[in-house]
Structure 1
């Protein structure tokens, strides 16, 4: 049974299947590499990873494109602040992002285009829009898309239903530049003094592309003018994805995307994640508290993608126990075989839940219910050797589709110095010397260790 998924454009659940009958072509908006990706970003990337795994589970071939945004206002400003070239700066954060993806066991996209490497395609697309009257050049050399020229503008975000005012549009689409009409958005930004050497040549003068045109040009280059599915966080629906549709369909006169897949926000203890609140966590932050990337992955897929996920440290504690239960079950049934079988056997209900609008919460519930049933049968000697073999295959397939490896962290003995730091920190905490305790925790982190406290003791683990 193929996956059925909620489509943001039609507001209906639809079958996910290749338009061309050969391969499902989909595009995911990737990170802007000006700092470490946070766990909110990875909530989106993990759910997109589950999506791909579910699609591929029935043998469907995929062509997955996820971009890297390596030129925008933030990357330019931060690279200059650090005295690095744009390329040096973004390469460092791209490598960090790749390392985090690997730890979270995300499938590598088939193509990972960068915005900088596709400037010629972006210039060519802007030229198309200029020639057809959908875009215009301002006096300073910037180029804008004329929203009034595209009659379907707002069909994704339902602008008319939301009754967004001109002031709201201007605030949400400002893109840090001025333009003639409040609703129009920038395609090409004229070079400014603060941009330094970060500019490219174009028919309209020196400058750089706007954020929205980058994704359209890269998607069309690698997936064609019309493709199956486009995905990102719900915050990208407007204006980013709305603008992508307008400029792409205005340039090609073809439908841009068949289905839109958006993932809801991640909250932190019921509050919005933000730097100002000090709750913008990264994978490194999670590991520093003694948890693993696999436990974080469990938390990030534990709720429906259409509902906001409330992250808390308690949820990580629950994930730690859940992963331990899965690992113990694997040990109970024996070594998992390598198999090309597509028989989920007793675990078929898990796959069915995932195929029903990617219901990961229901899938996990069914998974543990099945595990409990199998363990009961094992205790009562009700499972034959052939049946147990099929159970192993089914469980292996479920772990693959959920992206769990169940690999234990390698045991590394702490040095005497590390042990002393940990003991001193625990003593400082008992004495309520919070400043000293935090300093010692930082020293442990620098030494490559994380510490996790319980009611009456602590545990240190390697990062």
Structure 2
């Protein structure tokens, strides 16, 4: 299954293939662990996860590196405000990040690189840049990259930077997105800041040098794919290219993938707008992690996603439809034989959804044939024209789909439980939806036991007790569905 993906560098959709013909080497910018991740961050991680899963399904070996930025201006500022060293401040947010990834079903990269564990490589790279005249030291002991030493600067973002200031410098990580000035490679130590003793002086790395050093450490001077959010294209990724290629004279990455950030209710997400959400905020409102995953990947990665709560409700309904059908498929009893119409539909759905993903990762187009297959199969079942061979064919398609989308198999209970426990620890119980709190007192086993008791009560014609059990479960957000295939339940 070929993968054609838009390449920011070339400006066109190119086939994504390993340079060595064997293993795809990819680097994806990870989190800066100064706070909890928000849904804009996670949209990027999810789209990269979909790509990774599709490539694996296609049989392509992957060497995926993701960095953890655990030293930068924001971290130092927040740690200072908390009165602790950054080594004590960041673990909380590193652990939270991986818990959130697990909740969303994001696979772990093969290599997770921490900036604070690669200081030596950063220093070596800065020394090499100084040797070729692309880095210089200032009076205070800081080191800067000389933009004029890299004439190709701007080739990724396609910005015209011919009028950039020569020699003007910027030393903070969160500077203006349209600036083009000599940027900090190494920041001289300041009182109270975390710093390292090195051959180039005591200090700490700038943000941009971290990714260059870590990507080349694990993937070599030149690799296949570099991915990240669109906000990183300039200046961060542009700076990575300049730093790395000034030393190696090779393309840092042959393919660049950028995921667009999202809007919330049509507006830019921000705390001042009151529309800023972390994953945990949404879980505490009672939304399932699987629904959040599907909502965030529902629009192709190069398109603007407008995140709304109505969209979350739609994603929840879509997942319920898939899971209800899958339960019917697994638990049903079907006669031997096959329905040619279902067989043909299963084959077409499989081909169409894979083709959509292979065409620039079109997740919206990939969903459509799966839901059409579900509709047709449900109709065939209702008419008694669905057979054992049809179940095998359709189940195979659903398994393939879920290997990429990861929403059919239900893993929602544990993220909800962890979110409530976290709210208790953080003093945020007032933010937890009442139904969610009620649900947490019921394990899956307890629900099954109550439904078994309800079934026995109905058989004994004790309908008042059966109705009482249903009412109790309903009040705690448990939806019960009685069907000819048996009783199904789900958490609201």
TM-score by length of 1: 0.84
Counterpart position of 1:189 = 187
Deviation at 1:64, TM superposition (A): 0.7
1:224 to 2:224 alignment: no
Distance 1:376 1:384 in 2: 13
CA contact (8 A) 1:288 1:449 kept: no
Q: Does 1:378 align with 2:381?
A: yes
Q: Deviations over 1:307-356 (max 9, x none)?
A: 110011111111110110010110121169xxxxxxx7342211111111
Partner of 2:430: 442
Instruction: Return the alpha-carbon distance in structure 2 between the equivalents of residues 440 and 306 of structure 1.
Output: 35
Which residues of structure 2 form unaligned runs of 5+? 333-345, 421-426, 440-473, 479-490
Distance 2:383 2:203 in 1: 72
Aligned equivalent of 1:323, options 308, 319, 329: 319
Alignment of 1:28-427 (within 5 A): 28-160=28-160, 166=164, 175=173, 183-193=181-191, 196-334=192-330, 345=347, 346-407=349-410, 409-410=412-413
Please give the root-mean-square deviation of Cα atoms over the aligned residues, in Å.
3.0
CA contact (8 A) 1:288 1:450 kept: no
Tell me the CA shift for residue 380 of structure 1. 3.0
Unaligned 5+ runs, structure 1 = 337-343, 419-438, 452-456
Instruction: Render the CA deviation track for 1:117-142: whole Å, top value 9, x for unaligned.
Output: 00000000000000111111111111
| Partner-residue secondary structure (3-state), 1:199 | coil
How much does 1:440 deviate?
Answer: 10
Pair 1:170–1:317, CA change in 2 (3 A): farther
Tell me, in whole angstroms, the C-alpha distance in 2 between the residues paired with 1:176 and 1:363.
37
CA distance, structure 2, for counterparts of residue 450 and residue 143 of structure 1? 56
> Do the aligned residues in 1 keep the contact of 2:323 with 2:408 (CA within 8 Å)?
no
Question: Aligned pair in 2 of structure 1 residues 410, 53: CA closer, same or farther (>3 Å)?
Answer: closer
Cα distance in 2 for partners of 1:443, 1:10 equals 46
Moved more, 367-376 or 212-221: 367-376
Maintained 8 Å contact 1:290/1:450: no
Deviation for aligned residue 1:166: 3.8
Aligned residues: 420
Kindly indicate whether the alpha-carbon contact (under 8 Å) linking 2:103 and 2:412 is maintained by their aligned counterparts in 1: no
Relative distance call for 1:446 and 1:213 in structure 2 (3 A) is: farther
SS state at 2:256 partner? strand
Classify 1:459/1:315 alpha carbon distance in 2 versus 1 (closer, same or farther; 3 Å): farther
* Distance change in 2, residues 1:335/1:354 (3 Å): farther
Aligned pair in 2 of structure 1 residues 170, 381: CA closer, same or farther (>3 Å)? Answer: farther
Length-normalised TM-score, structure 2: 0.79
Indicate conservation of the 8 Å contact 2:170/2:184, yes or no.
Answer: no
Post-superposition offset of 1:170: 7.3
Question: Partner of 1:334: helix, strand, or coil?
Answer: helix
Distance 1:256 1:375, change over 3 A: same
Q: 1:205 to 1:359 in 2, by over 3 A?
A: same
Contact 2:435 / 2:476 at 8 angstroms: preserved in 1? no
Structure with larger Rg: 2
2:6 aligns to what SS in structure 1?
A: strand
Range that drifts further, 376-385 or 138-147: 376-385
> Relative to structure 2, which stretch is displaced further, 113-122 or 72-81?
72-81
Distance 2:356 2:300 in 1: 11
Q: How far apart are 1:109 and its partner, in Å?
A: 0.6
Q: Is the 8 A contact 1:290 1:460 kept in 2?
A: no
* CA shift in 2, pair 1:440/1:42, >3 Å: closer
Q: Answer whether contact 1:36 1:282 (CA < 8 A) is retained.
A: yes
Separation in structure 1 between the aligned mates of residue 402 and residue 223 of structure 2, nearest angstrom:
29
Deviation (angstroms), 1:250: 0.5
